[in-house]
Structure formats: C-alpha cells, structure tokens
Amino acid sequence: MPLSAPSQPSTKHKQIVDTLCICLNIASTVLLVFLNKWIFRDRQLKNMQITFAMWHFTCTAGTLWLATRAPFNLFVPVRLPFLQMIPLCSFFAGFLILGNLSLAYNSVGFYQLAKIMTTPCVALIQYVMLGKSISSLTIAALASVCIGVALTNTGAADTTSLGASIAVAAFTVTAFYQVWIGKKIKDFGVSSPQLLLNQAPISVLLLAFVAPFFDTVPDPSTVPRDTIIALFFSGLAAALLNLSQFLIIGRMSALTFNVASNVKTIIILTYGWVSEGRTLTVKDSIGIILALGGATLYSQLSQN
C-alpha cells in the first residue's frame, strides 16, 4: 500500500492534464475554423491571405518561445541552418495560405471534408516518391476515405470550381509538407516544436517580401469592430492549436491525436451544416462513417 499510494495521484494528475490537452486542441481547432470563416466575410480581409498567415505565424512563434521559458520549460530551443529551412518554410506558408483560401471560397463542410483527403494523398506520395509499400488493408482504408468524402461532398453547398480547385491544391501541398516535415525531423534530430519554432519566424520573414505584391491594404475604419476582435482571437487560437498538437503527440501518441482530429471533424461538420441550413441525409451519414472510419483504420495501421 505505501508503494502504490503515491502513484495514484500522479496517474490521476496525468489523466487530467492529458484530457485538458485534448480539449484544448479540439476547442482551439473548432474556434479557429469558425473565427476564420467569420473574418473572411469581410471582402478586404479576404484579400489579405498572406498577411493573415503572417499574423498566425507570429502568434505561434511567440507562444512557442514562451513555452521554452520559465516556468513552463516545455522544450529546449535549438537553432537550425537558415538556408536549409527556407524550402520547408515555403511549403509551410503555402499549405496554410491555401487552407485559408479553401475556407474562404468553400463552405465549412466542404473545406473540412476536403482536408481528410490529405491522408490518402500522403500515402500516395510515400508510395511513389519514397517507395513505401502499401498493404491491401491500407488500400481498403484509403479507398474508404475517398469514397466517403466523395459521397458527402456531392451535395456540398456554396462550392464552385474555383473553390474545389483550391481545396485540391490545399490538401496536396499539405500532404507534401507532412511527408517532408517527417523527414526533416529525422534529418535534424529535433522534435516537432523545435522545428516549428524555427519555421514560424522564418516564414514571417519570407512572406513579408511577398505580401505587398498580392495583399490589398484595408481601410481599418471600415472593418467592423467584431471582425477585428475575431482577428485577434484567431491568432491566439492558431497558437494554442499548434501548442496543443505537440503536447498531445508528446504526452500520448499520434493515434490519440488522430482520434481527436476525427472528433473535431464531426463537430465542425455538424455545426457547419447547421449554420448552412443543410439537412443530413442517409448518404451523408454513410459518407462520414466511411471517411472517418477509413482515416482511423489507416492511422492504426500506420502505427504498426
């Protein structure tokens, strides 16, 4: 009894912290999606995608830097070669900007389901470029994802050919980024937050040279006050999202993170469709089950 007593509070404390990390990740993701959708209703801000990405990168870098300081000391910062970081940062900025554009030009439901296509895209890239074998069960899981997304998106609202093209570009670039970042973490021998702390400020620097050529400067006096408040909180949500992601993977596992991602997908889809006035049909339900089931099965197989 004396030996087991001290471990009980410790185990309970870990469970509480793990639960809080998952809740933080889910809440920050859902909040970020709908804050961004709210912000993009303003035509001026909708045409400021690069500056918008810079704001999120700045908030992320600041939050991660604070995480390295006392009393948090969550990880030890390292400095990586600047020139070697530039290509990775370009992809990092690209997938975030394309993701925001996809949200701006598509409905929330279409945007969220299109993101699931990142999983089969990653598997295809690893098979073609890295020679990674794919089992029959894995192919079945990925086919389930593709069929599920196709079934659900056939009735998607507020989606144009431009929006669909942006969504395809977004999950393709995201897939390349995910494959590449996994390789770079191994090459540099660093953790994901250490790499992200190097990526974020360099990405801001790179985008600062591009923003004047593509973004339009808004008239602050015409931007509604609630939109400015949403813009501030979106930066905070983006930083908390990035922070909670590595806390979940570090404290638990990538599989736990994937399950949490599926929960987020269901919440975002449900709220998005309710806000769009879309009725959930039997075909939609089957599509969601196939997509989420396939993604979950693939994540389990990839852990083996």
CB atoms within 10 A of CB 11: 10
Residue-wise DSSP of 89-136: HHHHHHHHHHHHHHHHHS-HHHHHHHHHTHHHHHHHHHHHHS-----H
**In which residue are the tokens 């790179």 written?**
206
pLDDT of residue 53 exceeding 80, the answer is yes
Taking residues 216-223, what's their average pLDDT? 86
Q: How confident is the model at residue 233 (pLDDT cuts 50, 70, 90)?
A: very high
Of 140-149, 190-199, 211-220, 268-277, the poorest mean pLDDT is in: 268-277
* Confidence (pLDDT) at 170: 92
* Confidence (pLDDT) at 252: 62
Taking residues 247-253, what's their average pLDDT? 64
- List Cβ neighbours of 82 (8 Å cut-off, separation of 6 or more): 202
Q: How far is CA 167 from the centre of its chain?
A: 14
CA angle 40, 57, 197 (to 5 degrees): 160
Q: How confident is the model at residue 151 (pLDDT cuts 50, 70, 90)?
A: confident
Taking residues 121-135, what's their average pLDDT? 83
pLDDT of residue 286 exceeding 60, the answer is yes
Average predicted confidence (pLDDT) for the chain: 83
SS3 letters across 33-74: HHHHHHHCCCHHHHCCHHHHHHHHHHHHHHHHHHHHCCCCCC
Instruction: In whole angstroms, give the CA distance from residue 200 to residue 185.
Output: 15
* Confidence (pLDDT) at 268: 79
Q: How far is CA 69 from the centre of its chain?
A: 25
Of 54-58, 82-86, 219-223, the poorest mean pLDDT is in: 219-223
Share of the chain above pLDDT 90, in %: 25
Decide: pTM greater than 0.85.
Answer: no
From the list 260, 206, 226, the residue with the least C-alpha distance to 93 is 206
- List Cβ neighbours of 80 (8 Å cut-off, separation of 6 or more): 188, 190, 195, 198
Of 55-69, 171-185, 239-253, the poorest mean pLDDT is in: 239-253
* Confidence (pLDDT) at 6: 47
Taking residues 270-278, what's their average pLDDT? 72
Share of the chain above pLDDT 70, in %: 88
pLDDT of residue 3 exceeding 50, the answer is no
Structure-model confidence comparison of residues 214 and 21, the more confident one: 214
**Would you give the DSSP letter of residue 3?**
T
